[in-house]
Structures are given as C-alpha cells and as structure tokens.
Amino acid sequence: MTGRRSSWTLAAFAAPCLPLAALGLPLVVYLPEYYVSELGLSLSVVGSAFLLVRVADIILDPILGGMMDRTRTPIGRFRPWLLAAAPVLMIAAYALFMAKPGIGPLYLWGWLVVCYVGYSMGVLSHTAWGAVLSPDYQQRSRVYGWWSAGNVVGMILVLLLPPILAKVYKGDHAAGVQSMGWFIIALMPLTFLLAAKAVGEVNVPPAKHEAGLKQYFDLLKRPSVRTLLAADLLMGMAPGISGALFFFFFERIKGFDKGDAGILLLVYFIAALGGSPIWPALAKKIGKHKALAVAAVLYAVFQVASIFTPRSEGGFALSPSMLTGMAILVLAGLPYSAAPLLVRSMMADIGDEERLISGVDRTGLLYAIVNGTVKLGYALAIGVFIVLGKLGFDPKAPSAQGDTALIALYAILPAVLGLLVCAIILRYRLDAKAHAEIRRQLDERDAAEPLPSSSPEPHVSPLVAPRPATE
C-alpha cells in the first residue's frame, strides 16, 4: 500500500506553511537587519538576542515532542498543538513587527521568547503530523514536497509586500515590515483551521512509554539520526548565513537599493518553488540521500557565483546587473527546497526503523530533533552578525576590511558548508531498499498484533498498513 494522498488533501495540509514561513523568513532575513538599521539596536545586541533565544528554545523541543507523543485527543496527537500555537504566534508577531524606535534589548528578548515558543509548537506539530500521512518511502517525499512548496509560497507572498509598498504606494522600509506582520496575523487562523478540518490524523493506542529527554538523547545515538542531523544542521546554516547577510551584501557590495534587493530575494524563492517538484522526482530515481548530495553541490557552486554579480547601474529595474543577479539567484534558489523536504521525509523513514527496533512510535521526538537542528543552524547563522562586527564591518561606515569579510561570509562560507553536506550525507545507509525491508518486518509483526482503531476520516489510512493475509 502506498498511502497516496489526494492533491487537495496535501494542499490543505500545507496551508499552515504559508503563515509559518511568512514568519520564519523575516525572523532570519528582515527583522535582524531591521532592528539594527531602523530601530537603532547594535549588531551585537541583535545578534546575541536572536542567537541565544533560539539556542535556548532548542531545549523546549524534546519536551514538546515527548508531550505530543503522549497526547491523545479526539482530533489526534498533533492537531491540538497546531491550533494552540496560533494565538501565541499572532500576539508575538504583532509585538515584533509593529515595534517602534526607542524599544530596548529587553523588549526584543522578551517577545522573541514568546514567538519561538509558539513557533516551536506550530512547526513541530505540523511536520510530525506529515510523517504519519503515509508509510511509503516515495510518498513521504511527495507529502513533504507539498509541505516545502507551501513554505516557499509563504516566503514569496511575504516578500512581495515590501517591494509592492515601496514601488506602488511609496511606503518606507518600516511600513513593509509592518505589512509582513499583518499578513501573518490575518492568514494564521484561516490556514490552521483549514488544515485541522480538512486533513485527518490516524488514531494510535494509548501511550504506554516514556518520551522525554533520555529518549531524546537515545535517539541521537542512532547512526542514521546522527548522519541526517549533521547534514541538516550544515544545510540549514548555509542559507541562514547568506539570508542574514543578503541585504548587506547586495546593498553594500553590489550597490542595489533595498527595493531591488528585495526583488532579487523574491526571485530566489520563486526559483526555490520551482525546485520543489524536482527533488522528489530525483529522489525517486537515485534515492533521497543522493538527491540531497546533488543539491548541496549545486548550492555551493551557485552561491560562489553570486560574487560575480555586476554592481547595479541604477536607474531602471531590468538593467544588465539586475538581470545577471536574477539569473544567478534563480540557479542558487533551485536547490533551496531540497534539504527541508528530503530530510523530513528521511526522518519519517527513521521513525519506522525506530519503531521496528524499540516497538515505540517516537514521531514527535524525532521531529523535535529535526526542529532543534534547524533552530541551531539558523541561530548560528544569525550569530554571523557578531563575527561580522568583529571582522570590522560597520553598516554605516564602509571599509575594505569590512567589505571583504562580508563577501567571504556571504558567499564562500555557505558554499563550504554545502560541500561538507555532500560528503556527510553520502554515508547515509537507510535507502529505499533498506526501508522496504523495515516495512516488510513491521507489516508482518503488526499483522499478528491488534491494530490501532481506524481513522474516522476515510482519506487518511492508518500509519500501519498490514499486508493481506495469505491462505
């Protein structure tokens, strides 16, 4: 049984990605730079706040993952947590995006804590929910292909707001950032409720197992988990670093104004959306881990190529420098979707491996590990602000030393990380053949044991799909 979901079901499942990604992207790309350039906080204060709050938030993930694994409600394990995250995120988005000049470090620290608590609840419950929508190796790539596309669409939509306000309504940078906040606040309840209503969740037996920090760290001992997480950490850091420095690079080094730089970033994520169906298709032909290795190498090559973007001539939008920048960012954007969707699909396969070995469904904890790795990667990426300041970069005073450091950190360092991802992920051993054997053993074992009660929603099959008994 493939557990194939309809496109409508997967589109509804992906809907919460729109506001979650629309919040997650500015937390890395727009808000750190905005709090420095527009609200007057220092590079070190902003870099420290985003770094330390996100690192501290990682501790929350195994706690939440364990609680989700033990949650039993009429609507499932994960959907209640997704719905509970919405009001927390709406309040935090208002505070962070509507902040006025004169706020201090404590304001930023406090609301970042609230935001990341809600963000952990929302992202973790949503990605773990996706893991139980199909037991099939290839169909899981399709599930997370829709999930990835939803994330990229959310990024594109939120990125459209500042350029539109700047070009059409003559809005300033602050107005663009505030429009992002209102967009997130408006979209979040609509999409969360749509997914919870339209997409089912399999029923599971009552929890009879521990799911806490000890089990979390036990999972980290598995070779397949460690390999996957190392690759995911580096592949998250690479675009996180380049994203955090994107506006500094294209404004300072390449001479683009903020509006044109925003258009270039938009082009990058449109290309990422175009790449979303490529990676599941490639994974079907060569395997998920090999597809990720290919994407990592392509990312490294095209990230270095950004150095050769000509400086802006200014004056008109479709100048040769703008077109060249767009072309390079299209190529750099295509691999962007690969790691998020392939890693989450592979983690679902590891969930089957863990259930075969331990007899326990630890979906929540496994996705807590992925969630924590992503946070650590982006936290370390935001920490590049601190390194950049130490290397002599001043956002208000150009210098040769500071500009050289900016180029190296924006283009060279992420490319090196991409090549390391390729080297690491090629050691991964849980491929389609190995997973098929795991599923065969699970199906045989489950056929001899009572199954969980069937899902009341017919478009969602049970997580465990036993083979028909033979005479």
Cα separation, 441 vs 48, in Å, equals 48
- Number of structural domains found in the chain: 1
For residue 446, tell me if it sits in a domain. no
CA distances from 223 to 127, 211, 360 (A): 22, 20, 18
What residues make up the domain containing 190?
7-429
Q: What is the mean pLDDT of the chain?
A: 83
On whether residue 387 sits in a domain, the answer given is yes
Q: Which residue has the tokens 């429009």?
A: 179
Q: How confident is the model at residue 375 (pLDDT cuts 50, 70, 90)?
A: confident
Contact predicate 283/136, CB 8 Å: no
Amino acid 462: pLDDT = 38
pLDDT at 264: 84
Q: pLDDT digits over 202-254, tens only?
A: 766 555 555 556 666 777 788 888 899 889 889 888 888 888 888 888 888 88
> In the prediction, which pLDDT does 468 show?
40
The verdict on residue 162 lying in a domain is yes
Residues 6 or more apart whose CB falls under 8 angstroms from that of 339 comprise: 231, 232, 235, 236, 292, 295, 296, 421
Is 142 a member of any domain? Answer: yes
Q: Does 262 reside within a domain? A: yes
With tokens 């997580």, the residue in question is 463
Q: Is residue 189 part of a domain?
A: yes
Distance of CA 450 to CAs 1, 79, 135, 443, 445, Å? 19, 25, 18, 12, 10
Residue 244 resides in a domain: yes
Distance between start and end Cα atoms, the chain: 19
Q: What confidence tens digit (pLDDT) does each residue in 114-151 have?
A: 999 999 999 999 998 988 888 888 888 888 989 988 98
Q: What is the CATH number of the domain that holds 393?
A: 1.20.1250.20
Q: What is the per-residue pLDDT across 136-190, written as a single tens digit (0 to 9) for each? A: 888 888 889 899 889 889 988 887 877 777 666 666 777 888 889 999 999 999 9
Closest CA to 144 of 291, 340, 336, 425: 340
**Is the residue at 461 inside a domain?**
no
Entry pTM: 0.74
Res. 308: pLDDT tops 60: yes
Chain center to CA of 406? 24
Which tens digit of pLDDT belongs to each residue from 404-446? Answer: 999 999 999 999 999 999 999 999 988 889 888 998 888 888 7
Average pLDDT rounded to a whole number, residues 50-79 = 82
